[in-house]
Structure 1
Amino acid sequence: MAALCDLVPWVCILLSFVIFYNLISSKTSKLPPGPVGLPVVGSLFQVGDMPNESLAKLSKRYGPLMSLRLGLTTTVVVSSAEMAEEVLQKHDQDFAGRTILDAVNVCGCPESSIIMNQNCPRWREIRRVCNNELFAPKKLEAMRGLREEKVGVLLKHIHTASVAGRPVNIGQCVFKMALNLMSSTVFSEDVVDLESESMGEFQGLVWGLIEAARKPNVADYFPMLRLVDPQGLRRRVQTLLKQTDAILDELMEKRSQSHGAATEGWKKEREDFLDVLLRLVETPNSGFTRQNVKPIIMDLFVAGTDTSSITVEWAMTELLRHPNKMAAAQSEIKRTVGVDCVVQESDIPRLPYLQAVVKETLRLHPPAPLLMPHRADVTKRLGGFTIPKHTQVVVNAWAIGRDASYWESPTSFLPERFIGSNIDFKGKNFQFIPFGAGRRKCVGMALGHRMVHLVLASLLQAFSWELPHGIEPEQVSVEAKFGITLHKAVPLTVFPSPLINGYVHGSDIL
């Protein structure tokens, strides 16, 4: 009898789970079709380490609008251009919410973040400020010289490595350069020494936040575990943010003091983005405070550095795997720009093959393969199915970019497919949405577009590139490592050799 009594709590737990599971199943019976999954874990094991690939395979069986349980989280996956258009354009307002990752749900970050905030007036105000003060065409044009200067420093660093016979880690170099570009845009100063092998404090903090956001978190699939943070990711992010807060507080205080000490006041034409934010902080009833502008700054660093460096690294990877494509891109640059003048942003529109290389890279290797998770803000009928309110909605941009329904030879690297084509990645052609579409598309897309093209063109003009001894082009790895962004599993390390003599953006280096 005692043994039976000991079993009673476990039987109650099991019955409770069965009842809970049945309730969930009845409420979600009108969801799109999808795998049934296992008790408790749902389809987590079917998704595996490369969700973009496994979800693409599952969608071939269950359709372009598919639902599955990931732990206790119901997720709807969009895997076709037609369904993406429904979610991101026709019903954009209804699906413009955000699923908040538990790791970043600290220090008020989501409420002040342009990436993680919900579709609300506060988010729209933050986006308006970023668009007007950073990403407007006039602002981008005004910062062109700064971008060209940072690329010049990057080329100098690579030239130094080539003279010493050292290989270059493309992704790492471009990441450091992008970090300095963003810091110069926001703070008017560099935060990284490209010649240093060690990771500086601020670079380490940014990279730590990127790494924490990339790791799968069990608390995102089992909400009751958020209280204990079993993997410690939220605690890790909180520690990193406290350290960045201290740095930003010091920068803000110095800047405020310099404003106060200026005899004629701070002139608006000399403003960097930190000045813009501090001006808003000092404006009565603006809603901006020193504390709630920090997440905006960190969004810019995390999103604006990683995606650009990833794209350049994947582009160089594909070009090294296809030497004829690299030769075509370099020939176009030599023919159009020459060897006595360095590439400038104004040259990019005259380099259609280079633009096609970037597009093809983004098609095969979108920086965010599943974009950022959307959330249904209302219960919505879609494709004959019901999407309940607060359901997570994921758009598999990786799968859409490799769908044979839209692309001939979809897994082949063929930049030529974009020559003479009007297909672009600005959110109007839904078979090609590496930066998303609608109101939640990447706010920094225009800056990323300029930066990636300029860096790639400069690398191809200034250097020839050789693989390490014994590695053939077809052996260059294209294995990816999944996260919010899609990194190369094996970093691209190659040997540069100078192709041109002269100067880079005004500085004698070659």
Structure 2
Amino acid sequence: MESVVNGVSLVLGLVLLFLLISKFIILPKKKLNLPPSPPAWPIIGHLHLLGKLPHRSLAQLAQKCGPLMFLRLGSVPTVVVSSAAMAREFLKTYDQIFASRPRTLAAKILLYNCKDVAFAEMGPYWRDMKKICQLELLTPKQMEVHKHIRLEEAYCMVKSIRDKCEGGQPVDVHSHVFALTRGVITRMVLNKTYFTSESKEALQFKEVLTESFHLHGVPILGDYIPYIGRWMDIQGYELRMKAAGKQMDAILDKIIQEHQDKQLRISKDQTPLDFIDVLLSLRSKGDYGHLSMDSIKGVALDMLAAGTETAAVTIEWALSEILLNPSVRKKCQQELDCVIGRERKVEEADLSQLKYLQAIVNETFRLHPTAPFMMPHESTQDVQVAGYDIPAKTRLLVNLRAIGTDPSTWERPLEFCPERFLNTKIDVRGHDFELIPFGTGRRGCPGLLLGLTVVQLGLAVLLQSFEWQLSPSQELDMSEVFGLTVPKSVPLHAIATPRLPQHLYA
């Protein structure tokens, strides 16, 4: 009996050996025709090429390797797109294949195991969560309903700046525009200004939000070399993620508890429903079977974080460029005076007539894309693009910095020149791949209309209400900090001088 068992084991062993030899020696894998790639190092691949500002490093590398590059970031196959034509191929022609998301360590820890909208993998869950956000918060009807909120918060910001600009001292522009966007989005999502500017909660929310966006964007060793990075946490990022996640979770728990308590008295005081109320109601009704409490937190965090951070960063970059280009400020203020005058405050209805202001915003998106790689995409199957083989589970990075400064598309690409958008049909709504700050296709940002409106309105009230200048001894720092978004490394401070009648600041 033992000899029979030994014989069977020997046969199975020989079969297994033959299969292994067939796979790795006799029948080698078909050689893939991958896109151009620079030389790689063992184990880390091309990670060493990312540098402190990967969007700039890879834009320079694309000048040598071309608009489609293949990189191996540790064990993660990655393609980097650096031209509008290539972006169209991946995000339009093959949109469905590249519409999923990689499950990054940051998304797992900070976003409840990818239970949000932005980082959810392609599938029924993502479609349901996106549908909820679009129907309950981001429709044109909801935009109209919340119009008064945006105006009130914009002029709350103006009054706050007016109160602090006495004596010619520079004001903290960064803090004021962050308060604007935070006020708008918390009132839309939570039905009240949840964090007042001076409160400890507001500072904590701002700090944890900034930390989270940074951790979502930096290269995490555990994502690329998991068998080393995951258990060693050499960079210390995982520890920071867990700390930030714990703080944000405590904030969201408090918000949700308040809403659950409110639900008990809604029938008595007729309190209007906000976005969190709607999510809790949908969960209790069972309309969406996979809408868990973690889902509610993840989706709410998407709305709060994206709506606050991205618009604030863009307004700050726009005003920084305006300070460096006085002629741009003068032209924009002349337009504001011509369209609106100085006897009333700008309103949202005026924005469509402010063509030069729109051009300033578009030029800011081109030169300072808020999220320079958009959100990372991932292929769901093998595909051939532009004659090259792209394997399944390949990460896609679309370098908006490279596309926005491509000399084959833009004249004087490194200059801030809003005039370039006065005689072009290129806009930011996802149809023109030369300028896609909100993404495009299936994974395009559902909050495009809200984000664009807040940026244009915020910049309009700042330029209508004040003259802006740097203090004589000040040198404007235009350096960046890399993350999921790319804010200024040194927050903007500038001198504001009122330019409207006193009663308009009340």
TM-score w.r.t. structure 2 length? 0.89
CA pair 313-250 structure 1, distance change in 2 beyond 3 A: closer
* Map of 1:272 onto structure 2: 274
Question: Is residue 171 of structure 2 the alignment partner of residue 168 of structure 1?
Answer: yes
Q: Which of 333, 346, 355 is the equivalent residue of 1:330?
A: 333
Q: 1:239 is matched by which residue type in structure 2?
A: A
Distance 1:255 1:488 in 2: 35
Cα offset, 1:469, TM superposition:
1.6
| Alpha-carbon distance between aligned partners in 1 of 2:410 and 2:384, rounded to the nearest angstrom | 29
AA aligned to 1:272 is: D
Q: In structure 1, what is the equivalent of residue 261 of structure 2?
A: 257
User: Quick check: 125-134 or 157-166, which moved more?
Assistant: 157-166
1:445 pairs with 2:448: yes
Which whole-Å CA distance do the structure 2 matches of 1:478 and 1:261 have between them?
50
Match for 1:238 among 237, 242, 260? Answer: 242
Contact 2:189 2:304 in 1 (8 A): no
- Residue 26 of structure 1 deviates from its aligned partner by 6.8
TM alignment of 1:406-485, pairs within 5 A? 406-471=409-474, 476-485=476-485
- Match in the other structure for 1:221: 224
Please say which of residues 219-228 and 369-378 is displaced more in the overlay: 219-228
Choose the corresponding residue for 1:207, options 210, 217, 225. 210
Q: Which amino acid aligns with 1:209?
A: S
The equivalent position to 1:142 in structure 2, one of 132, 140, 145, is 145
Matches within 5 A, 1:370-385: 370-385=373-388
Match of 1:488 in 2: 488
* CA distance in 1 between partners of 2:112 and 2:47 (Å): 27
Distance 1:92 1:243, change over 3 A: same
Change (3 A) 1:375 1:198: closer
Q: Secondary structure at the match of 1:457?
A: helix
The answer on 1:309 being equivalent to 2:319 is no
* 1:449, distance to aligned residue in structure 2 (A): 0.3
2:189 corresponds in structure 1 to: 186
1: CA distance between counterparts of 2:311 and 2:356? 19
Deviates more, 1:124-133 or 1:257-266: 257-266
Q: Is the 8 A contact 1:342 1:503 kept in 2?
A: no
- 1:396-447 per-position Cα deviation (integer Å, ceiling 9, x unaligned): 1110111111111111111111113211111110111112111111121111
1:52 matches 2:55: yes
CA gap 1:28/1:360 in 2 versus in 1, 3 angstroms: farther
Question: Offset at 1:266?
Answer: 4.8
| Closer, same or farther: CA 328–29 of 1 in aligned 2, 3 Å | same
What is the match of residue 295 of structure 2? 292
SS in 2 for 1:481: coil
**Tell me, what secondary structure is at the counterpart of 1:67?**
strand
For 2:302, what is the secondary structure of its paired residue? helix
**For 1:69, what is the secondary structure of its paired residue?**
strand
CA 1:211–1:147: 2 relative to 1, 3 Å: same
2:92 maps to what in 1?
A: 89
Aligned partners of 1:482, 1:402: CA distance in 2, in Å? 18
Letter in 2 for 1:486: V
- Whether the aligned pair in 2 keeps the contact of 1:401 and 1:432 (CA below 8 Å) is yes
Query: Could you tell me how far apart the structure 1 residues matched to 2:247 and 2:60 are?
Result: 42
Number of residue pairs the alignment of both structures matches: 479
Partner of residue 109, structure 1: 112
| AA matched with 1:454 | L
Q: Report the Cα offset of residue 306 of structure 1.
A: 1.2
Deviations 1:127-167 (A, max 9, x none): 11111111111101110100111111111111111125431
Contact 1:314/1:361 (CA < 8 Å) preserved in 2? yes
**Aligned partner of 1:78: which letter?**
V
1:350 corresponds to? 353
For the 8 Å contact 1:75–1:391, the answer to whether it is kept is yes
Q: Match of 1:135, SS? A: coil
The Cα offsets for residues 177-205 of structure 1, whole Å up to 9 and x where unpaired, read as: 21122111111222333356995333333
TM-aligned CA distance change 1:35 to 1:154, over 3 Å: same
Post-superposition CA distance 1:451-510 (Å, at most 9, x none): 000000000000001202234xxx533322222111112322101111112445xxx53x
Question: Letter of the aligned partner of 2:479 in structure 1?
Answer: E
Residue 214 of structure 1, CA deviation: 3.8
CA distance in structure 2 between the partners assigned to 1:28 and 1:155 by the alignment: 61
CA RMSD across the alignment: 2.3
Aligned to 2:371: 368
Question: What letter corresponds to residue 375 of structure 2 in structure 1?
Answer: M
Distance 1:189 1:265, change over 3 A: closer
Partners of 2:483 and 2:251 lie apart in 1 by 27
The change in CA–CA distance for 1:70 and 1:458 in structure 2 (over 3 A counts) is same
Per-residue deviation, 1:294: 0.1
Query: What runs of 5+ residues in structure 2 fail to find an aligned partner?
Result: 1-23
Note the alpha carbon deviations across 1:76-108, whole angstroms, 9 max, x for none: 111111110111011100001112221231377
Flag structure 1 segments of 5+ consecutive residues without an equivalent.
1-20
Distance 2:447 2:215 in 1: 22
SS at the partner of 1:389?
Answer: coil
CA–CA separation in structure 2 for the residues paired with 1:129 and 1:230: 39
Partner AA of 2:64 in structure 1: R
More deviation, 221-230/420-429: 221-230
Equivalent-residue separation in structure 2 for 1:65 and 1:132 (angstroms): 37
TM-score w.r.t. structure 1 length?
A: 0.89
Task: For 2:267 and 2:143, locate their aligned partners in 1 and report how far apart those are by CA, in whole Å.
Answer: 29
The corresponding residue for 1:123 is: 126
**What letter is aligned with 1:480?**
E
1:38-77 Cα distance to aligned partner (Å, 9 max, x none): 1122222222112112211221222211101222222111
Closer/same/farther in 2, CA of residues 457 and 108 from structure 1, 3 Å limit: closer
Are the aligned partners of 1:360 and 1:413 in contact in 2 as well (CA < 8 Å)?
A: yes
Q: Which moved more, 1:347-356 or 1:246-255?
A: 246-255
Q: Residues 214 and 484 of structure 2 are in contact (CA less than 8 Å); yes or no, is this contact kept in structure 1?
A: no
Partner SS for 2:122: coil
Which is worse superposed, 292-301 or 354-363? 292-301
Alpha carbons of 1:226 and 1:26: their partners in 2 closer, same or farther (altered >3 Å)? farther
* CA distances 1:282-322 after superposition (whole Å, capped 9, x unpaired): 11252223232101111112211111111111111111111
- 1:12 corresponding residue in structure 2: none
- Out of 461-470 and 480-489, give the one that drifted further: 480-489
Moved more, 160-169 or 90-99: 160-169
Partner of 2:393: 390
